[in-house]
Amino acid sequence: MRASRLPLLWRVFAINAALLAVATLLLAVTPVTIHAPIALVEAVVLVAGLLAMLAANLLLLRPTFAPLERLVRRMRTVDLLRPGQRLVEEGGLEVAELVRGFNEMLERLEAERRESSRRALAAQEAERARVAAELHDEVGQVLTGVLLQLDSLPLGASAAVEIDETKQAVRLALDEVRRIAQELRPAMLDHLGLPSALTELAARFEEHTGLPVERRLASSLPRLSPDGELAVYRVAQESLTNVARHARASRVELALEPGAGSVVLRVRDDGRGFEHPPDGGGLRGMRERAVLVGGALAVKAGPTGGVEVRLEVPAEER
Ligand SMILES: Nc1ncnc2c1ncn2[C@@H]1O[C@H](COP(=O)(O)OP(=O)(O)OP(=O)(O)O)[C@@H](O)[C@H]1O
Ligand SMILES: [Mg+2]
């Protein structure tokens, strides 16, 4: 057993025993005598000896407890949204044991967290898909039926204008229902793949906000899992929504590029940026999705002002 692997009790005991032995030895070999009542010089020597021993004690004990202090600091700052942080096993037996226990606890917490976010996101996506299907199939059908009925009305000259206006309103409602359904569940993603779905997303964003989106969507990309694709799509969607809501930008860049065995999404605006490190439901959701697909998300100030969101998702293993 290495000295540093001694139990904490024995390390402290050994240090103190060594100091006491040294003090005893010094008393034995040096001509120090103590009288009662104590003389001033003797008192000074005694106090100096005591101080020297205390200082030595502190110096020798410090390294023993330093790993414990580091452990506490690390426990306070560990961030479950940045998984994979582990402490080095160091220090005496108990401290190393504590670090091992802490690392194992992190492992379990991260696994548990991954599982619960996965379940929450899957439930959310399933619910969105259900609402999208209902909107599209039920409400869409009813509105289409109304349009057909309006078309088949006998054209009385007096009501023709009103009927036309009603048809126009129904058509608008139909478009809106389709748009909402599309946003809830991007059918494009399932049928035409990520670049097409992002192109469509950008087009709708431009139409809605009047902001031009500069698209750099590589056509040949490493393959992502369906969850990975959905994560990229949802992060792009939330980032664009944030640009529209917060950035006051004049242009946006939406890039999808191949990385090293990964796919990299970048959404960059030239807006006012943020004053504080931002934290909201949207960003937290993005982070959670990134963690879940083993990706990395960074939200930071863009190179020329504004905000840059970057998501890297590892490609699916073959
Ligand atoms: N592109 C951006 N430009 C400027 N500020 C931004 C940008 N994106 C985010 N922010 C800031 O970061 C904050 C957090 O964003 P986040 O998406 O988490 O929340 P939110 O958009 O306010 O609400 P929601 O939960 O509905 O998304 C925003 O309130 C905003 O102040
Ligand atoms: Mg938001």
Same domain, 194 and 312: yes
Average pLDDT over residues 276-297: 89
Residue 165 lies in a domain: no
Same domain flag for 209 and 312? yes
* Within-domain flag for 164: no
Query: Is-contact 254 305, C-beta < 8 A?
Result: no
Question: Are 303 and 205 found together in one domain?
Answer: yes
Single-letter amino acid, residue 183? E
> Looking at residue 104, what is its pLDDT?
94
Looking at the domain assignment, is residue 15 inside a domain? yes
Q: Could you tell me whether strands 307-314 and 296-301 are parallel, antiparallel, or unpaired per DSSP bridges?
A: antiparallel
The closest residue, in CA terms, to atom 11 on ligand 1 is 278
**308 and 198 in a common domain:** yes
Determine whether the shortest distance from the Cβ of 309 to ligand 1 is under 6 A: no
Among the candidates 89, 112, 135, a domain finishes at: 112
Q: 278: Cβ below 6 Å to ligand 1?
A: yes
Q: Is residue 287 part of a domain?
A: yes
CA 31: distance to chain centroid?
A: 68
Cβ–ligand 1 distance for 211 under 6 Å, the answer no
* Separation between Cα atoms, residue 299 and residue 176, nearest integer Å: 31
pLDDT in tens, 105-123: 999 998 998 899 889 989 9
Q: Residues 147-171: pLDDT tens digits?
A: 999 988 877 767 788 888 999 999 9
Distance 85 CA to ligand 1 centre (A): 27
Q: Is the domain of 96 the same as that of 193? A: no
For residue 15 the two structure tokens come to: 């240090």
Quote the DSSP letter at residue 243: I
Domain annotation covers residue 138: no
Counting ligands in written order, the one closest to the CA of 308 is 1
What is the 309 CA–ligand 1 centroid distance (Å)?
11
Last residue of a domain, one of 93, 112, 131: 112
Q: What residues make up the domain containing 310?
A: 189-318
Reported as half-sphere exposure (CB side, CA atoms, 13 A), residue 311 has a value of 31
pLDDT at 79: 80
- In sequence order, the β-bridge partners of residue 257 are 264
Element (H, E) at 123: helix 93-134
Q: Locate tokens 């097409």: which residue?
A: 196
Q: What digits encode the pLDDT tens for the residues 170-192?
A: 999 999 999 899 888 888 888 88
Ligand 1 proximity of 274 Cβ (cutoff 6 Å): yes
97 plus 200 within the same structural domain: no
- Work out the end-to-end distance of the chain between its first and last CA atoms, rounded to an integer number of angstroms: 46
Say if residue 262's pLDDT is above 90.
yes
| Ligand in closest contact with the CA of 244 | 1
Whether residue 123 lies inside any domain: the answer is: no
Where does a domain end: 91, 112, 133?
Answer: 112
CA of 279 to the centre of ligand 1 (A): 7
Q: How far is the CA of 242 from the centre of ligand 1 (A)?
A: 5
**Does 166 reside within a domain?**
no
Task: Check whether residue 14 and residue 106 sit in a common domain.
Answer: yes
The DSSP call for residue 84 is T
- The encoded tokens of residue 117 equal 């976010």
Q: Is the CB of 271 under 6 A from ligand 1?
A: yes
Q: How many domains does the chain have?
A: 2
pLDDT, one tens digit per residue, over 88-99 is 887 778 888 888
Q: State the distance from the centre of ligand 2 to the C-alpha of 246, rounded, in angstroms.
A: 8
- The answer to whether residue 117 is domain-embedded is no
